[in-house]
Structure formats: structure tokens, C-alpha cells
Structure 1
Amino acid sequence: MNRRTPGEHVAVTHQVASVLLGYPDERLYDARPVLAEAVTGLPDGPAATHLREFLAHLDVTPLPGLAAHYVEIFDFKRRCCPYLTYYTHGDTRKRGMALLRFKHAFRAAGFEISDGELPDHLAVVCELSGRGASREATRLLQEHRPGVELMLRALEAESSPYAHVVAAVLATLPPLGPRDRAALHKLAAEGPPPAEEVGLEPYGATTPQDFPGPLDGHLYAPLEGQLEDHR
């Protein structure tokens, strides 16, 4: 019997999304049964449907092909950037200040970001939710909702299966309001964000292969624990 609360369903959705949005390796494929069981426990709706669609793609896609697509999409398509502050600030000094907002939110929730890890990666924010700080993570997602929406549109334009994962995350948020809709149209009209290449020194550079977030083995433990608690 499913005894999860709506808030717990959000946390599970975000935790699964966090794992799926990390750079794919063999641990992701080994965790496929755990991820599928977690999604099976979600209520019917857009979030569960989108996550099932991505897992179905995972079933028929060899690891090298998915990894190559991940790099092509998230490294070389600027509009598909998974770092949320990039959409409003680009690689400028202002982005460094925006990143501090994320870092402070993580710290207030009792979490510390590893050295060199940018806290605004969508997978990292979703991980925060999956680890019990859904309120803080959801607030960050809502503050950067236009950027996430723009990312989804870009992924859909590229026919990327990762659009399903981003859509699942967005399905956990309230409907897009007039203010966010106006901000989305403004971002879309402005084109790629500016690049200044300064102001991010305290965070270092992060490449997909070095990204320490959702693909570390410890991230699968919360999902397994939630499955045990709510079977």
C-alpha cells in the first residue's frame, strides 16, 4: 500500500531526476531496477509518465550512446545548459553572486557543497530535495523557473530524451504564472546569455566526467530507503 504524502512523492521524483540528470555511467544502468521501482510508486500523472519515458529510453540505449548524447547536449548546446543561474546571468560576475544564494540555501538546509561543485546544477538542486529539503529546493526551482522552462524547450527542440526528465521536475511545480511567463518570453527573445568568464573562481570548473553529484553511489541509498519505508 502506498503511504507516501504528496511531499514525499515530490522528493522521490526529484531524487530520481537527480540521478538521471547526472553524467551516465555503469552505476546508472545498474540502478535501473531501483529507479523503476521508485517511479512505479509515484501517482499517475505527468511526472511519473515522463520518468517512465526516459527509463524506457535507457532500456534500449547503450551507455556509450547515451554518454555521447549527454555531452553533446549539455556541454555544447548553450540553451540546454543544466546550470540554472546561467540563463539569467551567463558567465558573468553577477552569476557568482547568484551562486552564493544557492550555496547559502544549501547551508541553511544543513548541506555543504563540495569544492569545485556548482550548486545551481539542476541535478544538485533535485538531490537537495531528495535528501529531505524539498521546500528549499522547490523555492530555488521556482525562483529560476523561466530558465528551467527555457531548458525544456531547448531539449525538446533537440529531440533529447532528457526533456522528459526536466519535464518531470517542472510537473512538481505550480502552473507557470504570468510573471514567470513574461520572464520566459524575455529570456527567449534575448538569445544566449552573455559571457564574461569572471566571477566564478571560488567554484572552479566542472566537466561532466568530473561532476561529483548524482552519480556517486551514495545517492542511490535515499531511494532504496524510501522504497523500504513505503512498501
Structure 2
Amino acid sequence: MRLLSLLLQYPDPELAAAAPELAAAVAQLPPSPAAEHLSRFTDWFARQPAHEREMHYVEVFDLRRRSGLHLTYYLHGDTRRRGMALLALAQSYRAHGWEVADGELPDHLPVALEFAALVGPGPGEAPLRRHRRGLQLIHHALDDLESPYRHLLAALLALLPPPTAADREAVLRLAAEGPPGERVGLHPYGTPPPAPDPLTNPEDPR
């Protein structure tokens, strides 16, 4: 979980400098589907120029809601329930003696993974299990984009309990309809948005 938390963070110069060390740590993992996915990602990461890594990260995680890393969005959308979920998540972290760093939201996936790494299986992984359907949606979105980051989500999903039939049905429904309480400008996951007007919306919200 600690490796996944690090690799899903913004690829700043510090993380880039640690790439050989992270690849070596992945190479030492016992053979498994998760380890194979991690290896594929670190191979890609090591080959990319710094500016291309940074641009790709911003494109897939910051400019696209369908592959954003804030987990409560997938469960609650833009509703007041999301605010309550964020508060409950922060309180859960605090109950285990851990505080989220200033400027970070408790549902950001690297944060949830760091909590899991520190607290361990059981309570540490509970937020990830609770948001498994959102993780599956992020993986689908990254897979559609053919982003190498899809390997990190695949590795994480391989480490969690397998989805139930209800999970699979909910993911399909969310993919078609989007999260609850969507507002104007947030399009269902299965429907491509119209081309943005460069005069009023210079960024592609996808």
C-alpha cells in the first residue's frame, strides 16, 4: 500500500529521483498479479521524460472527473452527503492517531493508501473496501484512456477482496448514470460531453 501511495502522487522531482529505488522495491516483491502490474508501471515511469510524466498526471487526474482520485465523489457526487463522508473519514483517521496533512482531503486516494499502510489490514484498509466501486470506476476510466496508471489501480484492486455481484451491478449503473446529485456540466460516465466552448470553458471537463 505504501508503494501505491507513493506512485499515485504527483510525479514531482523528488518522486522522480526515487524512481530507481521504487522500481527496485517492486522487483523484490513476490510474484503476483499486483506485483506484475506495479512492474509494468515502474518500467513506464522510468522511461518517461519528467515533463511528460507531469503533463500526463495532470491530464488524467486533475482535468478529468471520471478518473479523479477523490473517492467520496464516486459514492456521493456533489452533495452534502459528501461533506459528511469527508468528515467521518477524517475522524476515522484521527481515531487511529493519524492526521491528514494540511491541504489534503482525507478521501484522496494516496492519502487513503498511506493510512492503510500505517494502520495495516482491517481498519487500515476499511476506507478502500468501502470505496471499492469508486476504485473500479477509476480503473475503467484509466483503462479507456490507456493510461499506464491503470496498472496501479489494477494492482490495488487485486489486493482487495473480489467484487460482489452487487458491486459489479453498481459499477455498471454508475458508469452509465454518474454519481448522485450531478450538476450542470458534469456528464454521466457513459456519455461523452459536448465539445467545450473555448470562449466560455477553455478546459475539457472530461
**TM-score higher than 0.5:** yes
CA contact (8 A) 2:76 2:179 kept: no
Task: Flag the 1:112–1:195 CA change in 2: closer, same or farther, 3 A.
Answer: farther
Aligned residue number for residue 183 of structure 1: 170
Q: What pairs with 1:132-143 in structure 2 (closer than 5 Å)? A: 132-143=119-130
Deviation, 1:195, is: 4.2
Number of residue equivalences: 183
For residue 67 of structure 1, the aligned residue among 25, 44, 54 is: 54
- The answer for unaligned runs of 5 or more in structure 1 is 1-13, 197-231
CA contact (8 A) 2:23 2:43 kept: no
Q: Deviating runs (4+, > 3 A) in structure 1?
A: none
- The answer for unaligned runs of 5 or more in structure 2 is 185-206
SS at match of 1:57: helix
Aligned residue number for residue 28 of structure 1: 15
Aligned residue number for residue 161 of structure 1: 148
Letter in structure 2 aligned against 1:144: H
Report the identity percentage. 48
Deviation, 1:98, is: 0.9
Deviation, 1:37, is: 2.5
Q: What pairs with 1:82-231 in structure 2 (closer than 5 Å)? A: 82-191=69-178, 194-195=182-183
| TM-score normalised to structure 1 length | 0.75
CA contact (8 A) 1:146 1:184 kept: yes
CA contact (8 A) 1:155 1:162 kept: yes
Residue 28 of structure 2 is aligned to residue 41 of structure 1: yes
Specify which structure has the bigger relative contact order, considering alpha-carbon pairs within 8 angstroms and separated by 6 or more residues.
1
* Cα RMSD for the two superposed structures: 1.6
More helix by share: 1
Aligned residue number for residue 199 of structure 2: none
Deviations 1:151-182 (Å, cap 9, x if unpaired)?
00000000111101111111101111112112
CA distance in 1, matches of 2:2, 2:116: 7
For residue 78 of structure 1, the aligned residue among 65, 87, 100 is: 65
CA distance in 2, matches of 1:132, 1:37: 24
Deviation, 1:61, is: 0.3
CA contact (8 A) 2:2 2:113 kept: yes
